[in-house]
Amino acid sequence: MISAQNIIKTYGNKTKKTQILNNISLTIADRSFTVILGASGSGKSTLLNILSGLERPDSGSIRYADTDITFLSDSQLTEFRKEKIGFVFQQYYLLPNMTAEQNIRMGADLAGNPDYRETIRAVGLENERKKYPDELSGGEQQRVSIARALAKKPDFLFLDEPTGALDEKTGRQILAYIADIHQRCGVTMILVTHNQNIAEMADTVIRMNSGRIETEQKNQTKKTAYEIAW
Ligand SMILES: Nc1ncnc2c1ncn2[C@@H]1O[C@H](COP(=O)(O)OP(=O)(O)OP(=O)(O)O)[C@@H](O)[C@H]1O
Ligand SMILES: [Mg+2]
């Protein structure tokens, strides 16, 4: 379980401070699929970065089971992230001078997982594996970035607008794949989006507004990537 308590984050200097996260508390159950919804600028990416240990809050605590990651040193935090956390960025952040296969393998090596080839097959990139990122379509690049995160076999997978840059057909494919991984791998998934329709696929939906959580709701039934509106 992830439990965040009273997270506060501000940017700026002494004369002008802007509060980005305003006392956020939430819990995320193991193996659940949570969607965080909110308008542009509401603080979704900042929250995702802080929950996953990419950034540190000004105050508040983030516990993963028995570990409060805000008490970890930078090197301990890096180690923790390496072992437990996968992250998929909206802009992919693939290494341009590495092939699809090398990018994915890097994720696997980080976690000492020898069977990265299985992940390449799972995302249907066998024929594309020798290509460099600039030779791949947006959807293929996003699949590489998801495969790179999954090759680590993370316990927790964070996804920031994974379909934000994709057309409907590719977006649905990626979402179907993500939902399938969630079912098969038992990974805890937290996905950020401004697309309300995607929220219908989740177990839990958290709505953010101006750095606060407005509502949290559980879905009684979940839709598939092909049932939601686009
Ligand atoms: N490094 C930074 N320095 C200063 N301000 C920042 C920084 N990062 C984010 N912000 C500000 O914090 C607010 C929240 O940003 P954040 O990226 O978390 O929003 P978001 O909900 O992810 O938006 P979007 O849907 O557009 O991605 C914005 O007003 C943004 O300008
Ligand atoms: Mg964002």
Determine the atom of ligand 1 nearest the C-alpha atom of 12: 4
Which segment of 92-96, 111-115, 191-195, 225-229 scores lowest on mean pLDDT? 111-115
pLDDT-derived band of residue 139, with 50, 70 and 90 as boundaries?
confident
What are φ and ψ of residue 93, in 5° steps?
A: 50, 50
154 occurs within a structural domain: yes
Any domain includes 9: no
pLDDT > 90: percent of the chain: 73
pLDDT band (50, 70, 90) for residue 174:
confident
Per the model's pLDDT, the better-predicted residue between 112 and 226 turns out to be 226
Q: Is the pTM of this model over 0.85?
A: yes
For position 114, what pLDDT does the model report? Answer: 74
Q: What is the pLDDT of residue 115?
A: 79
CA-nearest residue for atom 17, ligand 1, is 45
In a domain, 133, yes or no: yes
Structural domain contains residue 11: no
Question: What is the pLDDT, as a whole number, of residue 138?
Answer: 87
Answer yes or no: is 64 within a domain: no
Q: What is the CATH number of the domain that holds 206?
A: 3.40.50.300
Q: How many CB atoms lie within 10 A of CB 68?
A: 12
Lowest model confidence (mean pLDDT) among 67-71, 157-161, 169-173, 202-206: 169-173
Q: How open is the CA angle 60-52-30, to the nearest 5 degrees? A: 95
148 belongs to a structural domain: yes
pLDDT at 151: 85
Q: Which residues sit opposite 22 in a β-bridge? A: 8
Domain span at residue 170? 31-56+82-218
Establish if 10 belongs to a structural domain.
no
CA 82, 80, 198, 181 torsion-angle sign = positive
Residue 113 has pLDDT above 80, yes or no: no
Which ligand 1 atom sits closest to the C-alpha of 11? 4
> Is 18 within the bounds of a domain?
no
| Residue that has been written with the tokens 């960025």 in this structure | 89
Structurally, the chain folds into a number of domains equal to: 1
Whose Cα sits closest to atom 18 in ligand 1? 43
